[in-house]
């Protein structure tokens, strides 16, 4: 994922979470908000409650991999905030992929 496609600022995170729509399932919470850019942007959040920094970064890499593999299927000029839930820790890669794509489409 290129740096251009990442939501980084706290202001953007807050705007997306307060003004956007929220979808949830067992593994993820996804907030989305329409943007004026010709591409999607993503912000990924994994709570400190789930584990140490090494574990959280691994989970973020997994989510970025899912996004990169399937981003052509849901190009719709939106900003997304993806929050990992505790239920995702018990699921394998394919189940996480299905859960995330279900919310993004």
Residue range(s) defining the domain that contains residue 49: 3-98
Residues of the chain with pLDDT under 50: none
Which CA distances in Å does 63 have to 5, 18, 19, 96? 14, 22, 23, 8
Q: Is 103 within the bounds of a domain? A: no
Pairing of strands 21-24, 28-34: antiparallel
Q: Is 76 within the bounds of a domain? A: yes
- Answer whether 103's CB lies under 8 Å from 80's CB: no
**pTM for this model (two decimals):** 0.89
Residue 39: predicted pLDDT:
87
Residue 93: predicted pLDDT:
92
Q: Is 32 within the bounds of a domain? A: yes
Phi, psi at residue 52, to the nearest 5°?
-80, 180
Q: Is 44 within the bounds of a domain? A: yes
Question: The tokens 């584990």 sit on which residue?
Answer: 51
Any idea what the CATH number is for the domain that residue 28 is in? 3.30.230.10
Q: Is 86 within the bounds of a domain? A: yes
């Amino acid at each position: 994922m290129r740096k251009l496609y990442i939501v980084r600022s706290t202001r953007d995170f807050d705007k997306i979470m307060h003004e956007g729509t929220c979808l949830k399932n067992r593994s993820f919470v996804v907030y989305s908000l329409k943007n004026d850019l010709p591409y999607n942007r993503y912000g990924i959040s994994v709570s400190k409650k789930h584990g140490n920094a090494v574990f959280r970064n691994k989970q973020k890499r997994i989510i970025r991999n899912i996004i990169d593999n399937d981003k052509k299927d849901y190009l719709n000029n939106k900003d997304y905030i993806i929050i990992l839930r505790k239920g995702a820790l018990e699921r394998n890669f394919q189940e996480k992929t299905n859960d995330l794509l279900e919310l993004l489409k």
